[in-house]
Amino acid sequence: MYRHLFKRMFDLFVSIFVLIGTSPVLFVIVIGLGYVNKNTGIFFLQKRPGKGGKLFHLIKFKTMTDERDAAGNLLSDADRLTPIGRFIRSTSLDELPQLINVLKGEMTLVGPRPLLPHYLSLYSPEQARRHEVRPGITGWAQVNGRNAISWTEKFKLDVWYVDHLSFVLDMKILFLTVKKVFVREGISSKTSVTMEMFNGNN
């Protein structure tokens, strides 16, 4: 019952409540990113696979510029991450626009994080089970290390969540997510400001 009906109702209620409650913060972020990013936009849109591998456009605040080197190649993530972008990422405020994805039914509040489409062909059959449920803004892997743990560990946690999904577990994950936002743990991997690419082996 929870997995198919109540979870969706809960998603809608919380998403609307949070969007209304954080509207002043969202307004300030939009103004700040509009100034820093100039004409490159304030939102980052990228195709991600959802439940069953179906693609949708993930919405996040754009925390990095589009700066390129003399050869026209994008600079590293660290070089393109702006001060305001770094703050927004460290507080996870860049994730707030995904509440729109939740309202549209493409995502849920709690579930495996939506990753890049080309990872689909790299998953083992067990790892691919993470797509048996809708992807989430936060998840079991996020409260157990986020970007500071390996892909192998992350996928094991994702599949564990799929097998143990419940209202009590979702409440625990949401509570731990709020706690980690204040502590600011696991924002970056050990070697990068974001997570290294998954190649099917790591």
**What does the pLDDT profile of the chain (202 residues) look like in tens digits?**
788 889 999 999 999 999 999 999 999 999 999 888 877 789 999 999 999 999 999 999 998 877 787 777 888 777 788 888 888 988 889 999 999 999 999 999 999 999 999 999 999 999 999 999 999 999 999 999 877 788 999 999 999 999 999 999 999 999 999 888 776 655 554 445 556 788 776 6
Q: Quickly count: other Cβ atoms within 10 Å of residue 65's Cβ.
A: 17
Q: What sign does the CA torsion over 53, 145, 102, 92 have?
A: negative
Measured CA to CA, the distance from residue 58 to residue 46 in angstroms comes to: 5
Tokens of 133: 């449920």
Q: Where are the beta strands (DSSP E) in 97-135?
A: 108-110
What's the pTM?
0.85
Tokens of 109: 């509040």
Measured CA to CA, the distance from residue 159 to residue 171 in angstroms comes to: 18
Query: For residue 136, what is the enclosing H or E element?
Result: strand 136-138
Beta bridge partners of 60: 44
Are residues 70 and 102 in contact, defined by beta-carbon separation less than 8 angstroms? no
Are residues 42 and 30 in contact, defined by beta-carbon separation less than 8 angstroms? yes
Task: Determine the pLDDT at residue 202.
Answer: 61
